[in-house]
Every structure is written in structure tokens, then in C-alpha cells.
């Protein structure tokens, strides 16, 4: 593995137990030699105890006690594997309807989504749900794996029908890049190696597809945004007057000499240095963590944002957003919440629910406006002070937020700014 | 135009720095849980980067079981001095002397589980509201579901079914008095990533990780070091072997592997060819299939 150039790819998987999702992940881990002997031995023992023939690949991904007892996955679990080309992080989320919240969580940081379809059943409600979430969370790449091809005799006709079913409803969604693959997770066809059973399929196997997805263009390089996390003031002899603004570049590129504005105050200055422990940098881009110093002494604190003077986000106090409700307790009408947006924290109120979306049919519901667990709705939000925001479609970092209930301190909703 | 993307180690580093700065910004009184093992050394190294040119703005906290490798304690003290940070120590021996916990009995008795009480007491005494740990999701199945910011109730307990959703990079550290958080900045690193990074950054680690000659006993499929705490059982014999440790815990439970890897390069090469997980040599994880999960629920690291 080449340390200097190899990238990290984060992908989510969605699907229920029956789609063979856990088996597929087990297959990727197993075939990429990411399973250790002691893990294999433990799974072999459990497989035998449960009366399975051979090794049950799905057991590699089962995590906690409850789900091993129930045989289902209950939360987002993270898995890791590495090939000579890339490091991968899988956010493995369950597919049941009650777990929209987990799918949204797993999708929020993903570069790619893997959607599984059982070749015997074709597109079902759940498929539409997963595709909708991938679109809502703006996952740049969607890979649709039509699984269990072995059970339909590796039929090209079955495969083509499912592809066209998917394309017909996906045209309503906003997905930049969709690819389709015929696979058998259980037998390994087109997972790591090209299958001899699908001579009609001219594309690459899944692992190669994941290794070569072009992801470096997915980050926004245009709109320079730097949310300040904290201010570094060493007050040591060597750095007596040092004031560094610590944060992670959300998007765009910063260089010393750039004219910048500090929001919300609007004061302008010039970048003096971009610092790290290793020394000063000539440029910083997403997602680098750095410390920025400015030529002028301006009062800056956590929650402020440094941006390029000639490219500033809108300060907005009232805005529309797509909201996913994540909590058992439904939203209270006109209730106030704490809103976290980049490093900023304000008070917010859901002024209005404009419509809810049925994620199975994509139909808008304008009568029932209750926000209960797993509801997805377009809402109008008002904050006590302006937030510096971009549309989620343009910027996943400055376009996203969460709501926190002050009574419980729980994260109750995730929002995407429209 | 240059390349405007990070390689995976730089991306993991940047993510960890982001999380450490969030901890500092959101909590009053955070500490780094320092065991002397490579993961907590890595977290400390990342904290140095996160706050440069300031010093690391919070103390290191060590839960001392009394069953230490002497090398670990010396390493800890040297590091604390060179960083100029404060060291807090919670002592399991004191917890035993005060009657807070009772020493385990029986053949495989250890002080591993006793640490939970000492840790929670130290957190309460020092009014710690966030304990930063070197836990990684690839280590053990119960850890695969940890959040970066992991909430603990006022008994210090973890409820895996009631975790806060963590979306994008928005970390919610809000808590009530008496509750605390655990933060895991290197959640997304694997053992291989840790070694590759230690090698790249040339981070100092205790000599125990390098191959050396040591008196050991073969027990539970690994080489347990001879120490004042080790009671020989029938049929066991002391041998001298060239070994090294993949993880460092108590001297009573940390098994070594036979190895000639005496440089970071050789260790990284050895780890990449390993066929067993690193915790495969930790007898604390062998007690049952859900040993780690059960301890974590109670407040373990």
C-alpha cells in the first residue's frame, strides 16, 4: 500500500438481512484478507453451533450481544479493510423501516452508497427508501448490486429488468453517478473477481469499482470556508503574541496572502500564515486541520467563519431545510431547540412543516404534519441569530446541521439546508 | 495545479485533530486516558499537533493497576516531563486498600475489571467531564459501534442501544452534571494504520514493543512475562525467549509473541503479515464472547 497517494473511501451499505448485505460485507472482508485467524475461528464455532454449513460470512459483521441473539443488526457499525489501492470504511446500517435514522447517520459522511437488491424480488419498497436517502444525503456515487444472481441462473434478462425498474424511479432523484453490478455475495461472483457465470456483464467487479471510484472531485474546491473551532494563544516566550485560529477547512483552498472576511462581524484582513506542527503551509484545502493567523488583530472566537472576501456565504436567519427526525419523542409544535451548524451554536425554532415525504412512494404529505421518529420533511426554521450557510447541495459541511433537545441533550434531528 | 486531496493517513490525522479540538472547545475539564500503550501515545502525539504552538491544554490520566511493566511507568514519566503536562493517577491498589473493590481470586485472577471502579472514582474526584481514549473500532466487535463522542450516564455506564446519532462532523457533547463523555479521536484507525503512522512520524514508544529477550511462561497460547505477580502452575516452566508485545496492558495478562522485529520498519512489516488480531493475546478478552461489551457497559475504557 502506498502511503503517499492512497485515499480513504467511506461507503454505506443498506439492505435487510435477506438481501445478503452482511454476507457481502463478510465476503469483502474475507476475500480482501481482512479477517484474522482468531476471528475466523470464532465465526466457525458459532456457525457450527447454529447448524450452518461452512462459514456463515454474515457473522463477521454482527456486533453486539442483542443482535447476535436476535439475528439482526440494530445500529450503525463501522468496518475497515484495506487493499493495495485504498483504505475503506464501511458504515453498515440496517434496512428496516424503523431505522431510517441509522441509514441517514451512515450516509452523512459517505462517498458512496452500496444498495443491494435481491435478484429474485427486484426493486421493492426498501430499495426505493435506500435510493431516496442516498439522494437526500447527496452521496456522490451509488452502486446498485443485484445480488443472489446464482438463484436466477445468472440471467441477463432478469438483471436488465431490474436495472430498468431502478432507473425508472431513480430518474426522480438527484444522484450524480449510478452503476449496476450483477453479483452473488454468497458465492463471490463479481465481488473481488470477475465471474465466469456472467459473460454478458462487461463491467468491473465490485472491489475494483470501489478501488477506482473517482472521489477527489467530490469535495467543493470553490467556496473557501473555514469554521473556527478554537483560538490558540500559547502565551509562551517564543509565541508571545500568537493568535492562531484552529479549525478544519470545510471547502475551497486558502493561501497566505488571501484577502479574507471574518463572519458574522464582516471585518476583513489578510491571511498571514497557515500553521501546523510541521511548519507553515503554502496552501490548505478540505479536509485539512490547520491553524490560521491573520495580519490584523480582530476579535474572533469559536463559531465564527473565515471565508474569502469575494466569495461569502449568505447570513440567514430563516431558511428552508429537509429535516430527518431521529428521536423517539416527536417534535413539539413551535418548540425551541439548540442548533449546531459547523462550530456555531444558536437557538432555533421549527416555524412550519411545509410537507412530509413518504420515502417509499416519494409522495408529498401536506395534511399530517407531525414529526415523529424517522419522518422526513421540508421545514422552515428560524434562528435567534444569522448563520453563515450554503445550500447542502453545494456544500455538505456548511449546508448541514443538527437539532438538540435542551431537556434531554439528545440529538433529535438532522437537517440539510435548501 | 497540485493534488487537492489527502492520503488516508493525513485524512485520519486531520479527523483526529478535529475531534481533539472539539473536545477542548466543548468540555470544561477533559483528560487523556494514558495507559502507556501505543494507542494512547498516538492520541497524545495528535493532541500535540492539534494545539501547537500551545501545549496540550489538558492532563494525562493513568489508571495504575500496580501490575505494571516498569518500562511503561518510566516511559510515562519521561513523556509527561517532555510535554510539560500534568499527570493524574488513579490507583487500583488504593481502591483495594479503601475497600472499594476486592481482589479477584482463582487461577486467572487479574486486576483488569477492578480498573473500572478506580477509573470512575478518578473521573469523579477530578471532576472530569470528558475522558479521551485511544479506543479503535477495529479492535473488538463491541467497539465497532462506538461514537466519537460517547455518552456515559451518572453511573459511568454505556448504553449501546441509546447512543446519540452522530452525523457529518457535528459532535454533540452536551451533558448534565455528573454525566461524562468518552471521546475516541482514533476510532477510524486500524492497528496497521497506527503502526504505519508511528513509523511515518517516528513516534517514540516503549521498548516493550520491540523484540527483546525476556523470561516468560507459556500460558493460554501466548508468552506471559515473569514478574513478581506471576504464580507458576504445575507443568509450567520459565523459559527465555526473544519476544515483543503487540499491545500493552497489565504485566499479568499481556502476552508476548516470538519475534525478531527490533525496529519500527520490521514491526510494521510483521503486523501487516499477522494472522491473529492484536487482542488475541489478551486473556481479558478470552473470558467470554461478549467480555469486552460487558465491561464497556459498566464503564470500562
Cα separation of A145 and A149, whole Å? 10
Q: If pLDDT is split at 50, 70 and 90, which confidence band does A170 have?
A: confident
Task: Tell whether A84 is covered by a domain.
Answer: yes
Cα angle, residue A36 at apex, residues A31 and A37 outer, rounded to 5°: 110
Q: Judge if A334 and A405 occupy the same domain.
A: yes
Structural domain contains residue A218: no
Cell of A172: 426522480
Cell numbers for A314, please give them.
Answer: 449568505
Residue B174 is nearest to which of A38, A101, A409, comparing CB atoms? Answer: A409
The tally of domains found in chain A comes to: 3
Q: How many CA atoms lie within 13 A of B56 on its CB side?
A: 25
- In chain B, residues 38-67 whose CB comes closer than 8 Å to chain A: 48-55
Whether A253 sits inside 8 A of B4 (CB atoms) is yes
Closest partner residue to A109 among B9, B137, B168, by Cβ? Answer: B168
| Model pLDDT, residue B300 | 60
Residues A370 and A262 in one domain: no
Across the interface, whether the CB atoms of A229 and B192 are under 8 A apart is answered no
Same domain membership, residue A198 and residue A56:
yes
Give Cβ neighbours of residue B234 (< 8 Å, ≥ 6 apart): none
B8/A87 Cβ within 8 A:
yes
The CATH number for A344's domain is: 2.40.30.10
Within chain B, all domains assigned CATH 3.40.50.620 are found at 8-193+290-298
Tell me which residue range forms the domain holding A390.
314-417
The pLDDT profile of chain B, 301 residues, written as one tens digit per residue, is: 457 889 999 999 999 999 999 999 999 999 999 988 999 999 999 999 999 999 999 999 998 888 888 889 999 999 999 999 999 998 878 888 888 888 777 766 777 777 888 888 888 899 999 999 999 988 877 777 788 999 887 777 777 767 788 999 999 999 998 888 999 999 999 988 999 999 999 999 999 999 999 988 888 888 888 888 888 888 888 999 999 988 887 888 788 889 999 999 999 888 887 766 665 555 555 555 556 556 666 666 5
| Pair A74, A109 in one domain | yes
Point out the domain boundary residue: A266, A281, A308.
Answer: A308
With CB atoms and an 8 Å threshold, state whether A229 touches B18: yes
Locate the chain B residue with the closest alpha carbon to A46. B289
A17 and A121 part of one domain: yes
Question: Cα(B67)–Cα(A92) distance, rounded to whole angstroms?
Answer: 38
Residues A402, B167: C-beta atoms closer than 8 Å: yes
Phi, psi of A70 (to 5 degrees): -85, -15
For B8-193+290-298, which CATH class? alpha beta
A194 and A296, same domain (yes or no): no
Q: How many CA atoms lie within 13 A of A305 on its CB side?
A: 30
Contacts of A152 (CB under 8 A, 6+ apart): A119, A120, A158
Residues of A in Cβ contact (< 8 Å) with B13: 289
Q: Which of B7, B8, B10, B287 would you mutate first to test chain A, the one with the most A CBs within 10 A?
A: B8
Contacts of B296 (CB under 8 A, 6+ apart): B142, B143, B158, B160
Residues 171-190 of B with CB under 8 A from A: 172, 174-176, 187-188, 190
Collect all residues of chain A within an 8 Å Cβ-Cβ radius of residue B25: 229-230, 302, 343
Is residue A185 assigned to a domain? Answer: yes
Number of A–B residue contacts, CB under 8 Å: 177
Q: Do B52 and A288 touch (CB under 8 A)?
A: no
Distances (CA, A) of B266 to B196, B210, B259, B271: 11, 9, 10, 9
Instruction: Please state, in angstroms and rounded to a whole number, the distance separating the CA atoms of residues B59 and A340.
Output: 28
Q: Sign of the C-alpha dihedral, residues A85, A86, A92, A97?
A: negative
User: Phi/psi class of residue B10: alpha, beta or left (left: φ > 0; alpha: ψ in -120 to 50)?
Assistant: alpha
One domain for residues A290 and A332: no
Q: Using CB atoms, which residue from A38, A77, A248 is nearest to B276?
A: A38
User: Per the structure block, which three cell numbers stand in for A19?
Assistant: 438481501
Contact status, residue A34 vs residue A80, Cβ threshold 8 Å: yes
Mark yes or no for CB contact B161/A66 under 8 Å: yes
Cα dihedral A73, A78, A83, A84, rounded to 10, equals 170
Amino acid at each position: 500500500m502506498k502511503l503517499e497517494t492512497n485515499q480513504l473511501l467511506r461507503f454505506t451499505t443498506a439492505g435487510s438481512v435477506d438481501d445478503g448485505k452482511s454476507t457481502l460485507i463478510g465476503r469483502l472482508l474475507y476475500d480482501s484478507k481482512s479477517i484474522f485467524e482468531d476471528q475466523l475461528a470464532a465465526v466457525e464455532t458459532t456457525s457450527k453451533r447454529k447448524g450452518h454449513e461452512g462459514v456463515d460470512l454474515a457473522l463477521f459483521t454482527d456486533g453486539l450481544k442483542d443482535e447476535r441473539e436476535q439475528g439482526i443488526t440494530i445500529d450503525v457499525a463501522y468496518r475497515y479493510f484495506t487493499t493495495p489501492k485504498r483504505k475503506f470504511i464501511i458504515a453498515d446500517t440496517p434496512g428496516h423501516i424503523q431505522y431510517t435514522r441509522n441509514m441517514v447517520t451512515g450516509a452523512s459522511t459517505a462517498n458512496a452508497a452500496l444498495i443491494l437488491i435481491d435478484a429474485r424480488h427486484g426493486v421493492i419498497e426498501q430499495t426505493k427508501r435506500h435510493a431516496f436517502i442516498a439522494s437526500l444525503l447527496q452521496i456522490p456515487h451509488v452502486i446498485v448490486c443485484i445480488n443472489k444472481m446464482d438463484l436466477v441462473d445468472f440471467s441477463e434478462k432478469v438483471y436488465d429488468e431490474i436495472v430498468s425498474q431502478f432507473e425508472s424511479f431513480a430518474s426522480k432523484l438527484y444522484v450524480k453517478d449510478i452503476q449496476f453490478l450483477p453479483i452473488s455475495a454468497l458465492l463471490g461472483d463479481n465481488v473481488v473477481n470477475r465471474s465466469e457465470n456472467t459473460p454478458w456483464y462487461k463491467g468491473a467487479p465490485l472491489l475494483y469499482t470501489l478501488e477506482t471510484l473517482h472521489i477527489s472531485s467530490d469535495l467543493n474546491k470553490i467556496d473557501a470556508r473555514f469554521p473556527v473551532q478554537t483560538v490558540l494563544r500559547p502565551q509562551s516566550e517564543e509565541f508571545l503574541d500568537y493568535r492562531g485560529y484552529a479549525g478544519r477547512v470545510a471547502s475551497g483552498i486558502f493561501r497566505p496572502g488571501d484577502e479574507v472576511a471574518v463572519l458574522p462581524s464582516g471585518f476583513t484582513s489578510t491571511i498571514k500564515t497557515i500553521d501546523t506542527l510541521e511548519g507553515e503551509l503554502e496552501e490548505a484545502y478540505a479536509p485539512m486541520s490547520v491553524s490560521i493567523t491573520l495580519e490584523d488583530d480582530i476579535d474572533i472566537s469559536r463559531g465564527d467563519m473565515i471565508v474569502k472576501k469575494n466569495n461569502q456565504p449568505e447570513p440567514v436567519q430563516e431558511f428552508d431545510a429537509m429535516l430527518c427526525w431521529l428521536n423517539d419523542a416527536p417534535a413539539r409544535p413551535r418548540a425551541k431547540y439548540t442548533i449546531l451548524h459547523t462550530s456555531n451554536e444558536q437557538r432555533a425554532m421549527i416555524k412550519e412543516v411545509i410537507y412530509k415525504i413518504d420515502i417509499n412512494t416519494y409522495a408529498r404529505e401536506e395534511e399530517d404534519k407531525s414529526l415523529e421518529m424517522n419522518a422526513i420533511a421540508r421545514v422552515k426554521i428560524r434562528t435567534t441569530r444569522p448563520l453563515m450557510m450554503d445550500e447542502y447541495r453545494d456544500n455538505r459541511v456548511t449546508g448541514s446541521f443538527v437539532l438538540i433537545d435542551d431537556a434531554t441533550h439528545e440529538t433529535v434531528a438532522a437537517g440539510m439546508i435548501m | 495545479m497540485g493534488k487537492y486531496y489527502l492520503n488516508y493517513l493525513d485524512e485520519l490525522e486531520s479527523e483526529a485533530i478535529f475531534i481533539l479540538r472539539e473536545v477542548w472547545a466543548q468540555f470544561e475539564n477533559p483528560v487523556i486516558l494514558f495507559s502507556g500503550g501505543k494507542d494512547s501515545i498516538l492520541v497524545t502525539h495528535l493532541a500535540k499537533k492539534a494545539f501547537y504552538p500551545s501545549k496540550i491544554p489538558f492532563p494525562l490520566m493513568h489508571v495504575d493497576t500496580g501490575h505494571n511493566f516498569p518500562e511503561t511507568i518510566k516511559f510515562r514519566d519521561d513523556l509527561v516531563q517532555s510535554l510539560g503536562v500534568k499527570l493524574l493517577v488513579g490507583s487500583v491498589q488504593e481502591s483495594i486498600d479503601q475497600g472499594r473493590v476486592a481482589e479477584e481470586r482463582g487461577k486467572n485472577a487479574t486486576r483488569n475489571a477492578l480498573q473500572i471502579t478506580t477509573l470512575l472514582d478518578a473521573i469523579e474526584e477530578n471532576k472530569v467531564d470528558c475522558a479521551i481514549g485511544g479506543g479503535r473500532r477495529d479492535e473488538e466487535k463491541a467497539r465497532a459501534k462506538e461514537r466519537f463522542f460517547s455518552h456515559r450516564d451518572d453511573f459511568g455506564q454505556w448504553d449501546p442501544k441509546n447512543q446519540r446519532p452522530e452525523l457529518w462532523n457535528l459532535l454533540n457533547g452536551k451533558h448534565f452534571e455528573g454525566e461524562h463523555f468518552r471521546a475516541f479521536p482514533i476510532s477510524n484507525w486500524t492497528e496497521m494504520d497506527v503502526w504505519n503512522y508511528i513509523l511515518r512520524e517516528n513516534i517514540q514508544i516503549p521498548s516493550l514493543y520491540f523484540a527483546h529477550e525476556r523470561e516468560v511462561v507459556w500460558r493460554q497460547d501466548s508468552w506471559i512475562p515473569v514478574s513478581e505477580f506471576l504464580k507458576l502452575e504445575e507443568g509450567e516452566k520459565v523459559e527465555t525467549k526473544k519476544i515483543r508485545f503487540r499491545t500493552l496492558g497489565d504485566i499479568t495478562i499481556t502476552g508476548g509473541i516470538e519475534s525478531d522485529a527490533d525496529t519500527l520498519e520490521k514491526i510494521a512489516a510483521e503486523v501487516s503479515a499477522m494472522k491473529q488480531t492484536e487482542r488475541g493475546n489478551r486473556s481479558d478478552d478470552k473470558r467470554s464472547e461478549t467480555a469486552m461489551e460487558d465491561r464497556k457497559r459498566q464503564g470500562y475504557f
